[in-house]
Amino acid sequence: MKIGISVSSSYPDIAPNLAVDRMVERTREANWAGLDHLFVGDHHSTKTPYFQNNVILGRMLAEWGDKPFGALYLLPLWNPVLLAEQVGTLAAVGKGRFIMQCGLGDPRQGAALGVDMRRQVGLFVAALKVMQALWRGETVDEVTYWQLQRARISPVPSEPVEVWIGALVAPAITRAATLGDGWLAAPSLTLAESAAAIQQYKTACANAEKAMGAAAIRRDILISETSQAAKRAVAPYLAAGYRGIPPEALLVGSVDEVTDCLGQLNQQGYTEIIVRNISGDQGQCLKTIALLSEVKAALQS
């Protein structure tokens, strides 16, 4: 099982330049801890600072080394030619393989960007197929959703871009199996729900006559030296209804407890865990990331 990190891009309470320093510091700690992937998210038209993925990722790569990296993209909100070009450039900047996580987005963001989200599934599928063709070096026309004529890009990524499709409901999981190289499960899934969801993905891959790709799940996380210390640290976030995620879907505890939870996900068939810090305290975040090196060692043994 591989463990990656999605570094939070949202910092509502501090100056933007200090927030960038925090993202860079977390990236450096994740590299020292030996984590396997680096990601950032995608969000638009926000009230408080949210650092845009392609730009901030270019800075973070200076701290990351030669391991895989990428970002989440809400594809209906992006012109596929522009995004394919951006990814092509990032793939040249980074030393590792580029992994694109992707999803649909929501009506509020669509309205802010002038996108008709009633067409979001068609926009998503068309954008993905266009980008995959552009990354192969092809010249592309697409007139149904994006009105593209003889589009092409350069640089083309030197190795294939891996695509993980975020999906929660059955039709979306089928799209992930059919169109993607992997599937990204939602962070809100409890252990019982994650078991049922991965069975849906396995069935969808079999129906598509494809080998199962990466099966990734995000887990929001806080690790401390003891179970009691972790529970004390997470208590204020749970009291505030942390992101609407059920407490049982969070990874909170000691190294041994977190290792046990990840082992259960591994037994269900998940190949990748993408963690995201729960805490807004930088010290707690860095401690959690550092302790993940012990979790990795325990899983490998």
SS (H, E, C) the chain: CEEEEECCCECCCCCHHHHHHHHHHHHHHHHHCCCCEEEECCCCCCCCCECCHHHHHHHHHHHCCCCCEEEEEEHHHCCHHHHHHHHHHHHHHCCCCEEEEEECCCHHHHHHCCCCHHHHHHHHHHHHHHHHHHHCCCCEEECCCCCEEEECCCCCCCCCCEEEEECCCHHHHHHHHHHCCEEEECCCCCHHHHHHHHHHHHHHHHHCCCCCCEEEEEEEEEECCCHHHHHHHHHHHHHCCHHHCCHHHCEEECHHHHHHHHHHHHHHCCCEEEEEECCCCHHHHHHHHHHHHHHHHHHHC
List the pLDDT tens digit at each of the 301 positions of the chain: 999 999 999 999 999 999 999 999 999 999 999 999 999 999 999 999 999 999 999 999 999 999 999 999 999 999 999 999 999 999 999 999 999 999 999 999 999 999 999 999 999 999 999 999 999 999 999 999 999 999 999 999 999 999 999 999 999 999 999 999 999 999 999 999 999 999 999 999 999 999 999 999 999 999 999 999 999 999 999 999 999 999 999 999 999 999 999 999 999 999 999 999 999 999 999 999 999 999 999 999 8
Task: Please give the pLDDT value at position 96.
Answer: 96
pLDDT tens track for 191-220: 999 999 999 999 999 999 999 999 999 999
Does the pTM of the predicted model rise above 0.85? yes
CATH numbers and ranges of domains, the chain: 2-300 (3.20.20.30)
Task: Please give the pLDDT value at position 164.
Answer: 98
Task: Please give the pLDDT value at position 301.
Answer: 86
